[in-house]
Amino acid sequence: MFHYVHGGVSALQAGGDAPNSVVQRLIGLPLLSSAYGELVAVYLNGKEARPILRSLCNVAEQSISGMTAIAATGSRPFTRLLQPQST
C-alpha cells in the first residue's frame, strides 16, 4: 500500500520494508512524487470540504480494498502453481 509522506512516497509491508518495485521507483521521481502529493492534497481537501464527496470516496475506497483482497486471495493458487517455475 502506498501512502504519502512529506517529500515522497513510501510502501508499507507488514514485517518490514518492501524491495524497490518499478512503481515505487517511478513514484519516487521528483516530478511524479510532486504530482502525486498534489493529487493527494486535492483529494483530501475535497473530501474534507464536501460531506457527500467524503461519503462517496469512502464507499469507493472500501470497494477497492475489498476487490483487491478478493483478487489477492484468488491469485494465490496461480502463484503457488508458478512458484516452482520462478525459482
Tens digit of pLDDT for each residue in 1-21?
A: 444 444 444 444 344 445 568
- The reported pLDDT for the residue numbered 52 is 94
Nearest-5° angle of CA 83, CA 85, CA 87? 75
Whether residue 50 has pLDDT greater than 70: yes
> Residue 43: left if φ>0, alpha if ψ -120 to 50, beta else—which one?
alpha
The answer to whether 10 and 37 have CB atoms below 8 angstroms apart is: no
Alpha carbons 26 and 6: distance in angstroms, whole number: 17
Mean pLDDT confidence for 61-82:
79
Q: What is the DSSP letter of 6?
A: T
